Amino acid sequence: MDDDKTGPSEQFSEDEKKQIAELKARDREVHVHEQAHLSAAGGLARGGANFTYAVGPDGRRYATGGEVSIDTSSVPDDPQATIQKMNTVRKAALAPMNPSATDRSVAAKASATAAKAQGELMQKIGTTKQNGTNDEENMTKYQQQRGFAIYENAI
């Protein structure tokens, strides 16, 4: 019998077979998880997924962890665009079936950034009204983003 353990699975011990099966399952799970981030992030993803690997008893590499870099910066001087962007970031962070603690942290930070931008937008709308101008476009965008019904003379 050959000792290189690169041939048929009969050459592996039961423990090695179990380890290989676990590594294969983890590899699939990691790839599905990271693909969910990529799919939801769209153009905010900075490249593809990066993986960390472990080598199994069969000499093959299996993904055991991964990450997708996403642009989480605010849109300068555009709170409405920042709100929309942070909604996408939050959806991307929470896209996998089982988001990690890091995923949940990214989603929470995106929510906080969106809330700050929301305050800036409301301040901008209030300032516009005080100055006697009618910035209906900004209010309409804000209401649509927030899911509010648009009422005549809302401002």
> What is the tens place of the pLDDT at every residue in 67-122?
999 999 999 999 999 999 999 999 999 999 999 999 999 999 999 999 999 999 89
Range of the domain at 85: 74-155
Name the domain boundary from 32, 49, 71: 71
Same domain, 130 and 58: no
Q: Is the pLDDT of residue 153 over 60?
A: no
Same domain, 36 and 110: no
Largest interatomic CA distance in the chain: 89
Same domain, 53 and 117: no
How far is 85 from 107, CA to CA, in rounded Å?
A: 12
User: Cα–Cα–Cα angle for 92, 93, 98, nearest 5°?
Assistant: 110
Residue 1 located in a structural domain: no
Say what percent of the chain tops pLDDT 90.
71
Same domain, 37 and 48: yes
* pLDDT score recorded for residue 148: 43
What's the pTM? 0.74
Distances (CA, A) of 51 to 91, 103, 105, 143: 21, 16, 20, 40
Same domain, 39 and 115: no
